[in-house]
Structure formats: C-alpha cells, structure tokens
Amino acid sequence: MGLAAKKQDATEARLAALSLPSGAGWADAARVEAVSRFRAMGLPDRRDEYWRFTRPDDLNLPKAPEAAIFDPQEAPVYSDIDRLQIVFRDGVFDPEASDDLSLEGIEIERLATATTKDIHWSKDIYGVLEARGQNPVARPFAALNTAFATDGIVIRATGQVSKPVHLRYLHEKIDSDAILHFVIRVEPGANLTVLENGPAAARFNKCMEVDVADTGIFNHIRTQGRDHERRAITHLFARLGEESSFKSFTMTANGVLTRNEAFIELTGDNASAHIAGAAMGDGDFHHDDTIFVTHDAVNCESRQVFKKVLRNGAVGTFQGKILVKEGAQKTDGYQISQSLLLDEDAQFLAKPELEIYADDVACSHGSTSGAIDESALFYLRSRGVPENEAQALLVLAFLAEAIEEIEDEAIADDILGRLEGWLSRHRG
C-alpha cells in the first residue's frame, strides 16, 4: 500500500469512529464543511512539515488510548480567585457543578443551544476562524473538532465583565475522548478573561475561536497538567480588530503528549497580541507549541515567549512563525523560544520562522537551549542557598519572562506556586 493510501485509510478509519451530531441548526452545514476540509487534509504523519517533531499516532487512532485518573492532592489552581466556573466532565458540560451562567456584561450559552437559534452571533465565527487558520499550514485536528465537537460554550462579552470565566475540565473515565469547541466574541470596548484548567479526558481535542473586535481586550490563562497520561491537541484561533489586545499564557506540567497550536491574526491597526508558555517535563514528556502570528495591519505588536524546562528524556518542541503581510508596516514582532535542559537526556527541537513582506518593520526572534549556569549555581550556593533551592531559583528566573505575560498578579502568584511545587517534586 502506498503512503498516500495509508494516510487516506487512517483518515477514513478516524472518521468512521465518529458520528456527526445532527439537528443542531446552522451548525450542521458548518460541520459538514469541516468534514470535507478534514478529509482533504487527511490525518498528519511524520512527513508533514509541521509534524516532524511530534508523533501524531495517539491522536490519529480511532479510539483514545487509556489514561489513568490523576489525583493532584492539592487545591486546583484559581481556587482563591472570584470567578464564574463552568465545569466539564470528560468533555460534557455539567450544569449542576457549574455556576449560574448569567453575569453582567456577558452572554454565555451552551453550544448546542446557540446553534439551534436561526440568528446567532456565533454563526459568523464557528468554524470560520478555524478555516482561516488552515492556510498555509493544515491543522486537521481543528477541522475534526469543528465537525465533531460534542459540547462547548459560546461566550460574548459586551462590556466590562466583573470576573473571569473559568473553564474547568474534569477527567473521570479512563478512555474518554473529548472534543470541545468554544466560540468567544469580545465586543468593542469589552474586556474578558478566560481561565482554563484540569485534565479534561484521556484524549482531549479542544478548539477555541476568539474574535476580538476593535478596542476589545481578551486575556487567557490556562494550566495543563499534571495528569501524566493525557493526550491533548488544542487550537487557539484569534482574529484581532483595531486597537484590540490579546494575551494568552499557558503553563504545562507533565503529559506524554500535548500539542498546543495557535493561529493569531492581527487584522486591525494598532492591535497587540502576546502569547506565552511555560512547560515543564520530566521523563516521558512530549510538549509541542506550534504558534503562528500573522500581521495584516499597520503598527501592530506581537510577542511570543515560550520557555521549557526539561529533564530525564523529556522532549519539548517549538514551531513558531511571525508572518508580516505586505502593507503591515510598523510591525513590531518578537519571538523567543528557550529550553533549559536539566540533564543530557532532555531534548529541545525548535523551528523559529520569520516571513516578512513589508519593508518598515522591526522583528526579532531567538531560540536557545542550554543547561543551568554552573557559575550562577555556585555563586548562590557560596552565599548559603542549598543546591536544590538555588536550582529552583535559577529555573524560575529562566521562566520569568513567560510568567510576566500573565496579566493578573494574583493568578501569576498562584501559578508561580505551582511551578515551585513541581520543581520540588522533580529534583535531580
């Protein structure tokens, strides 16, 4: 059998294991279109340019590989923050466990409800931003998500939202295969923060489409982990209007396979997009950040800050691109991807890219990979700081630039505490 035929068979087998939710109003057409997008792309394999560093096998399988239920034995992140909590159990919305979805300045609906309404704002976004993000690089699992999402929430911020919306994922069945889709619209002048955490499922496919209108502000903070056996593929699609602001930060701890893709388009002048990640892995860990930022307007700013701490065979990958389209003058683009390898077995694979078609721009990118600075370690120890503490201090210093991208100080402190906890559990 030829390789192309193999790919096609795997794609059809994946499709055969899923069924399209029907009777969901306008979404039906979007889903059918997504199926044909998916079919045209096919499942990825290692010969696809953006899948060379990450094996998609576990994501390609028709059935989710099992994952043990993880008990973190500590209070979940964001516990101390006043927030509106929306709970999903193995990818199914749990209204009992969730807070009342009504809140001033915001409309929140379950996807299944929104799609049955003939006229609904989310119709213009669902699958639309995802489809925009399929070019020039295919993202088959995102199309698969649009087609087969079993649940999800649509959120529209119309003003100052008084507290963050927290999407909390719980994993209870060892073979759950969750596909969740979120549609978010931030109206002009509105301000929304979305938090995410929790293990979600044995295998988790999540797609979030975020449309930020002119002068809108969107903040996103996500934590993934420490459920070791999860397989997760997530996509974040964002379209940013004039003078809008977008910030996204992800902390990842452990996990045999996590791939976080982002596709962010700056379509209005003077917009700003920051996306950052801090990932920590020990042993059987594979973490992939695949980030595309497209400048398609004048005087926009973007920052990509991705840091990984790896030890004991852990693998981190980063594929990041800044694309500056023709006419996107005065672009200020920045990208940094760095790994701290705590021993010689860890591995970091990076593919930083700049593609620029405008002549008046300032773009910079850098990628480094290195060990703990021995002279700094000795300096700290010579002042009385024990080796473990000194190492933790240096690791946190390494991650600082990413953590600084967290807008909210209380959340940043909470996350810093989690990082410290991880470091104290994973000492050399």
Partner 1 sequence: MLNIKNLHVKLEEEDKAILKGVDLDVPAGAVHAIMGPNGSGKSTLSYVLSGKNGYEVTDGEATLDGADILAMEPEERAAAGLFLAFQYPVEIPGVGNMTFLRTALNAQRKARGEEEISAADFLKSIREKAKSLKIDADMLKRPVNVGFSGGEKKRNEILQMAMLEPRMCILDETDSGLDVDAMRLVSEGVNALRDEGRSFLVITHYQRLLDHIEPDVVHIMADGRIVKSGGPELALEVEKNGYADLLGEVA
CA distance 283 to 296: 40
Contact between 357 and partner 1 per CB under 8 A? no
The residues in 93-122 that bind partner 1, with binding defined as CB under 8 A, are none
**CA nearest neighbour of 276 among 138, 404, 170, 168:** 404
Q: Which of 324, 306, 303 is nearest to 316 (CA)?
A: 306
In the complex, minimum distance from the CB of residue 272 to partner 1, in angstroms, rounded to a whole number:
24
Region of 137-145, 173-181, 287-295, 394-402 interacting with partner 1 (CB under 8 A): 394-402
Phi-psi region of 313 (alpha: psi -120 to 50; beta: other; left: phi over 0): left
Q: Which of residues 23-52 bind partner 1 (CB under 8 A)?
A: none
CB of 389 to partner 1, least distance (A): 7
Q: Does 393 bind partner 1 (CB under 8 A)?
A: yes
Contact residue for partner 1 among 2, 47, 102, 383 (CB under 8 A):
383
Nearest to 408 by CA among 146, 176, 80: 80
Give the binding-site size for partner 1 (rule: CB under 8 A). 23
- Considering the complex, what minimum distance in angstroms separates the CB of residue 289 from partner 1? 21
Per-residue HEC secondary structure of 338-399 comes to: EEEECCCCCEEEEEEEEEECCCCCEEEEEEEEECCCHHHHHHHHHCCCCHHHHHHHHHHHHH
Are residues 322 and 354 in contact, defined by beta-carbon separation less than 8 angstroms?
A: yes
**Considering just the CA atoms, what is the radius of gyration of the chain in Å?**
21
Contact between 389 and partner 1 by CB under 8 A: the answer reads yes
Among 35, 396, 412, 416, binds partner 1 (CB under 8 A): 396
Q: Which residue number, 146 or 338, has a Cβ lying nearer to partner 1?
A: 338
| Binding of residue 249 to partner 1 (CB under 8 A) | no
Spatial contact of 43 and 14, defined as CB atoms under 8 Å apart: yes
Which sign does the torsion angle of CA 58, 55, 13, 125 carry?
positive
Q: What is the closest distance, in whole angstroms, from the C-beta atom of residue 368 to partner 1 in the complex?
A: 12
Figure out which of the listed residues 401, 407, 408, 420 binds partner 1, where binding follows CB under 8 A: 401
Which of 174, 349, 356, 376 is in the footprint of partner 1 by CB under 8 A?
A: 376
In this chain, which of 153, 208, 217, 380 binds partner 1, going by CB under 8 A? 380
Do 35 and 15 contact (CB within 8 A), yes or no? yes
Residues forming contacts to partner 1 in the complex (CB under 8 A) are 373-376, 378-387, 389-390, 393-394, 396-398, 400-401
